Structure 1
Amino acid sequence: MCEERLTENPDADIIMVDDLTYINAEEIDRDFYPELELGKKVLEIKTQTDDADDFVNGAASKLAVGTVIYEAASPNQGDIAVVNNKKRLYVIIAEG
């Protein structure tokens, strides 16, 4: 799925967490509640790459190495990155 997304849009803002690919919700016009609440810490970005072959857990196409990823607390579903004091929601890319 990561390879498809990067082939279709090399500028896609995606991350990989627990072997699942997430995309920035704003890129796909996904509705979400604007008040994003941080849940528990999930991981830190370890690698920044746009090469699908290098995409593993902790990889991101746009986020900087060291960016912390958190679970989104209800009612949002997905993960949140905090960049320049702004929260970005990432949602799972649907398969198929």
Structure 2
Amino acid sequence: MREREYRAAMLLECLGEPNRFQILRWLESRPRSVSELARLMKRSLPTVCHHLAVLRMMHLVRFRNRGVNTFYELKTPVALDLLRAAIDIAPKLALTDAEANRS
């Protein structure tokens, strides 16, 4: 596998995790603190921090410290294009599966 394909596969794996997918959706509108994300997602702070670390490693988010709070924001809106494409494609795949099961 070429480096470019490997990176694409790693990106899809990263975004395929529901918590990370949701974090990016929450960050779509504005930067949010870790505690706000944890509250919105109904997840523990360590869980949210773990997923944010993975997103940071993939260069999808960046953070800023403001006082005692850490705020995360999207590093680039390009990842949202992939999320939106997945949201658009998913129902079509489900429809295709349903059609295939009728055959």
TM-score band by shorter chain is under 0.3
Q: TM-score, normalised by structure 1?
A: 0.24
Q: Which has the higher helix share?
A: 2
Q: Which has the higher strand share?
A: 1
Larger radius of gyration: 2
